[in-house]
Amino acid sequence: MTSAPGRRSSTFTRLLRQGFTDPSAAERFLDMPAVAPIRADPLLLDALGATADPDLALRGLVRLAEAHERPEERQVLLDTLITAKPLRDRLLGVLGASEALGDHLARHPEDWRVLATYESADLHPGVAEFEHELAGVTDAVALRVAYRRCLLAIAARDVCGTTTVTEAAAELADLATATLRAALALACAAAPEDAAACRLAVIAMGKCGGRELNYISDVDVIFVGEPPEGARDVDENTALRAATRLASHLMRICSETTVEGAIWPVDANLRPEGRNGPLVRTLSSHLAYYERWAKTWEFQALLKARPVAGDAALGTAYEDAVAPLVWQAAERDHFVPDVQEMRRRVVDQIPVGQAERELKLGPGGLRDVEFAVQLLQLVHGRSDASLRSGTTLDALRALAAGGYVGRTDAAQLDEAYRFLRTVEHRIQLYRLRRTHLMPDDEHDLRRLGRSIGLRTDPVAELTREWKRHASVVRRLHEKLFYRPLLDAVAQLAPGEIRLSAKAAGQRLEALGYADPVAALRHLEALSSGVTRKAAIQRTLLPVLLGWFADSADPDAGLLGFRKVSDALGKTPWYLRLLRDEGAAAENLARVLSAGRLAPDLLLRAPEAVALLGDPEGLKPRGRAGLEQEIIAAVARSDTAEGAVASARGMRRKELLRTAAADIIGSYGTEENPVEADRGSLVDRVGGALSDLNAATIAGAVRAAVRERWGDTLPTRFAVIGMGRFGGHELTYGSDADVLFVHEPRDGVDEHEAAVAASALVTEVRRLLQVPTAEPPLLIDADLRPEGKSGPIVRTLASYRAYYRRWSLVWESQALLRAEPVAGDPGLGERFVELIDPLRFPPRGLSDDDVREIRRLKARMETERLPRGTDPNLHTKLGRGGLSDVEWTVQLIQMRHGHEVPGLRTTRTRAALAAARDAGLISPQDAETLDEAWVLATRVRGGAMLVRGRPGDTFPSESRDLAAVGRYLGYGPGRVGEMLDDYLRTTRRARAVMEEVFYGYEAP
């Protein structure tokens, strides 16, 4: 009977609106007598339209109805569909999501009734219920049919949302357990003599062991065999042969394909020696292999081992025996790098063209989550039994609860993992084929998107959600899986992870802590309690203790860490930073235990610890950026004092950045290896400190001018850096040597301009040195004409007149490192033009000038060296020290600077390199002088970092001296070697200096 045209058009439109992609075919199906009641029932049509693939669901329903040969049976099916909504949703949901289960129902039409078994959404069938369903099967075909019937019930609850993806995965694993038991029972029934000759335990591995199985997946197992208890007439070899036959038969039952399909492949390749090893081993043979030959990945696999079938006592004995080996695996050499490398190999082996579609193995896939979780479990689970779950998401929750993973990170991983597993389930459910590839067919993608609830634009929404979750997984995988702290924790001895008070005291003393009692108090304060903060501290401290001990002053490092933690412990990002972000924890340990300067800077504003976790955070800022930021801060302040206080606060932060980079670059970490060229570290520190002081002075000048004179000072004003400041060679304790120059603006009286300039200088110096919590910046203007007796600031014309009439050769030499650092750029340039002929004289130096420079150098050596100081160890004025190198280079500059452009630089090392390139000094001599200059500069910097105050000699206190040694790269007990190296280096430099500077002439 044909429908009327108007009715057909109405049905066609409705079907199209409800999601049918082929409404014409759907109308033909609806016209079939077997399903005639459906057309008349709008609820059934709506239910079909709500499925993942309405066309597929309708075809499956028609096939199911037609499979009932008796009309009354078909009518019962259709009546139940119309009246029972839960069953209707489940049956149509399965038919719309799985072609394979539709085929099963077409072959076994009465199996639809199983969908009425579990009506309650709260009822989750377990192993016992599935064993009941499989009870009574007498052959492999019957087992397959019964297995698919149980699978049908799981799938129905899954697609209708009455179970979560994790509950469905657990049910699939429980069904697999029941199936393995039934298959083993069939094998034993077929060979009762073998069953009597052995004990066989089946150990589930992988996803089955972790109770997170897919719809269609290999079921990984390990078989353990033993002779029957008390059977003296059965030897071990006989028992193993019998157990091997039973195990092989079990595998065939589950794996062989018939018209009913296979259940799933049983894969025993995770056993010792893989395919090359015996299928069944005794428990002692397993243990012997794991103790002697097993690779890292095998222990990772054993994390999910769980006895599921066969001899329960033997299975439990196996589980109990291998568990300690699993939780000791992280102590193996190179454990963490081995696991990380294995993950990289998995990604590398993905076929070209599939990586972007791989839900499981590709970047951002399921394996990224699982490997990250398992690695964290194996490292931290040695001491924390709460982490020892074989189920990924249960383990992830435990890691978050224990503070090993941030709660936000854990929540994002949980959400992404559930999404990816849901998509994987739906892909496999369609045809019950083992695949982890996203389909590339538009229709398949549409069905897949609709199956997980995406209905507006299923393909686009699915793609967008997949990429979003994959991106999150990849980011967090890189963050957690390659976290440097992991390897450090893995390398701790088992007893070091959780320390008793007595054991901690002994360990602290052995590590070199001078006051173990005080250190224990710090540990107690940091780690006691049940708070999340304490839990994370307990994870961090064993590693930090070792890093502190790798310094000359572990006690100071631990005390500093307690102070920082007391200040920041309630700040959410602080402990998360140390736990998660790159080398932040190790960087902090190095900074806190390297001396007094950096910790003092850090403790004045502990939030600056964030710098240590940012890969870009330790790089010098550059003068332009610093000055712009300081000037902006000055503009926001109402008073000059407030403005300069802000500028000094920024300077303190940048001092910490520079000091931390210096310390970390000297010690080196996995992410920051030791700098091969120590000279580049010196250049970087000197340049950063010089840029920082220049920007700070510029800010102070701006603040002082704005408060007293408004926008414009009556005179142009410039600050000229001198000495190490002008040479970009400052160390941490250096004053800022400067000259001040001004030039009256048009129409301004010279006296008025001079008064303004002098007042400005006085105010700038006061603002930069006024006592506050921030480090002062000391301004030294003693290199000005006439020294302390001369005016603090002169006009450009006054400088010109003085240098023309009164300038001495030493003043010209001092001007070699003059460079504008703040104020009016044009005035600074004119000052440089004024002094260039003085410092680089067109005719070079006269013999008298050379003799005068040599005489001044000799006098300085005898008169300025502090009394009682060892001249061989004074870094500035001592033999082969900074002065020897710098005066030698400066003599070359003044003699040849006019004709060699490269010598016209304020930087000592750059001028030395230019002299070498011009043939004015041999490469060997230049290298000797450079090495000595770099070493002496580093000693000065190291002494300041360690003692917190400037000095030109090695520290006298033994611990401080050892700390300088660590900064210079000398390990414990090598102080003598450090001093010998310094003496040898400077002795060679002195010999070069005497030849090049003095020319072997008597001074």
Amino acid 283: pLDDT: 96
Q: Is the pLDDT of residue 24 over 60?
A: yes
Interval 665-677: pLDDT, tens? 876 444 444 444 6
Between these two residues, 348 and 750, which has the higher pLDDT value?
A: 750
Instruction: Locate 909 and state its tokens.
Output: 């090392």
Determine the 3-state secondary structure of 503 from DSSP: helix
pLDDT over 90 (residue 264): yes
Residue 118 scores a pLDDT above 70: no
Distances in whole angstroms, Cα of residue 59 to Cα of each of 52, 99, 787, 851: 13, 10, 102, 108
Model pLDDT, residue 510: 60
**pLDDT for residue 677:** 63
Q: What is the pLDDT of residue 671?
A: 43
Residue for token digits 């039952």? Answer: 253
Closest CA to 730 of 658, 811, 812, 624: 658
Distance CA 738, CA 760 (A): 14
Q: Which two tokens stand for residue 70?
A: 């008796």
pLDDT score, position 675 = 45
Give the contacts of 33 (CB within 8 A, at least 6 positions apart): none
Contact assessment for residue 182 and residue 137, using Cβ atoms and an 8 Å cutoff: yes
Residue in the block written with tokens 């139940």: 80
Confidence (pLDDT) at 511: 64
The secondary element (H helix, E strand) that includes residue 720 is strand 715-721
pLDDT of 503 > 70? The answer is: no
Local structure of 256: helix, strand or coil? coil
pLDDT at 333: 80
Q: Which residue did the predictor score with more confidence, 520 or 55?
A: 55
Q: Are the C-beta atoms of 398 and 376 separated by less than 8 Å?
A: no
- Please report the DSSP string for 913-953 in residue order: HHHHHTTSS-HHHHHHHHHHHHHHHHHHHHHHHHHSS--SB
CA proximity to 863, closest of 722, 732, 727, 1003 = 1003
With residues binned 3-state (H G I as helix, E B as strand, rest as coil), the percentages for the chain, rounded to 5, are: 65, 5, 30
The share of the chain scoring above pLDDT 90, in percent, equals 58
Residue 544's nearest CA partner among 583, 597, 601, 503 is 583
Whether residue 628 contacts residue 586, with contact meaning beta carbons closer than 8 Å, is answered with no
In whole angstroms, give the CA distance from residue 342 to residue 357.
21
**Contact, 358 vs 367, CB < 8 A?**
no
Q: Is 78 or 312 the better-scoring residue by pLDDT?
A: 312
DSSP-H helix ranges across 192-334: 192-196, 206-209, 236-255, 283-292, 296-302, 312-326
Residue 1 pLDDT grade (very low, low, confident, very high; cuts 50, 70, 90): very low
Average pLDDT over the chain reads: 88
pLDDT digits (tens, 9 = 90+) for 531-546: 777 777 777 777 787 7
More confident residue, 238 or 867: 238
Strand pairing of 306-310 and 715-721?
unpaired
Cα gap 14→821, rounded to integer Å: 79
Give pLDDT, residue 500: 57
What pLDDT score does 317 carry?
A: 97
| Of 33-47, 504-518, 568-582, 694-708, minimum mean pLDDT range | 504-518
Q: Which residues contact 876 (CB under 8 A, 6 or more apart)?
A: 882, 883, 936, 940, 952
Q: 317-321, 488-492, 923-927, 991-995: which has the minimum mean pLDDT?
A: 488-492
Cα 472 to Cα 451: distance, rounded to the nearest angstrom: 23
Mean pLDDT lowest among 404-418, 656-670, 937-951? 656-670
pLDDT tens digits for range 126-171: 899 999 999 989 999 999 999 999 999 999 999 998 899 999 999 9
pTM exceeds 0.75, yes or no? no
Residue 715, SS3?
strand
**Mean pLDDT computed over 895-913:** 96
Instruction: Report pLDDT digits (tens) over 372-404.
Output: 899 889 888 888 899 999 999 999 999 888 878
Residue 290 CA to residue 277 CA, distance in Å, equals 13
| Residue 203 near residue 221, CB atoms below 8 Å | yes
- Tell me the mean pLDDT in the region 9-21: 74
Nearby residues of 166 by Cβ (< 8 Å), 6 or more positions away:
212, 391, 393, 418, 421
Over residues 727-740, the pLDDT tens digits come to 999 999 888 999 99
CA dihedral sign of residues 271, 274, 277, 280: positive
Q: Which residue has the higher pLDDT, 58 or 379?
A: 58
pLDDT band at residue 936 under the 50/70/90 scheme: very high
- Least confident stretch, 11-20, 221-230, 655-664, 885-894: 11-20
| Lowest mean pLDDT segment, chosen from 72-76, 755-759, 909-913 | 72-76
Residue 363 has pLDDT above 50, yes or no: yes
**Selection from 499-503, 563-567, 780-784 with the highest mean pLDDT:** 780-784
pLDDT band at 116 (very low <50, low <70, confident <90, very high): confident
pLDDT score recorded for residue 850: 94
- The pLDDT score that the predictor gives to residue 1003 is 37
- Say what the pLDDT of residue 533 is: 77
The secondary structure of 395-460, three-state, reads: HHHHHHHCCCCCHHHHHHHHHHHHHHHHHHHHHHHHHCCCCCECCCCHHHHHHHHHHCCCCCCHHH
The CA distances from residue 483 to 37, 415, 573, in Å, are 62, 22, 16
* pLDDT score of 6 more than 90: no
Query: How many whole angstroms separate alpha carbon 144 and alpha carbon 140?
Result: 6
The pLDDT tens digits for 102-114 are: 999 999 999 999 9
Looking at residue 380, its pLDDT comes to 83
φ/ψ of residue 537, rounded to 5: -60, -40
Q: What's the whole-number mean pLDDT along residues 418-425? A: 96
Q: What is the mean pLDDT of residues 335-357?
A: 79
Look up residue 225 and give its two tokens: 């065999």
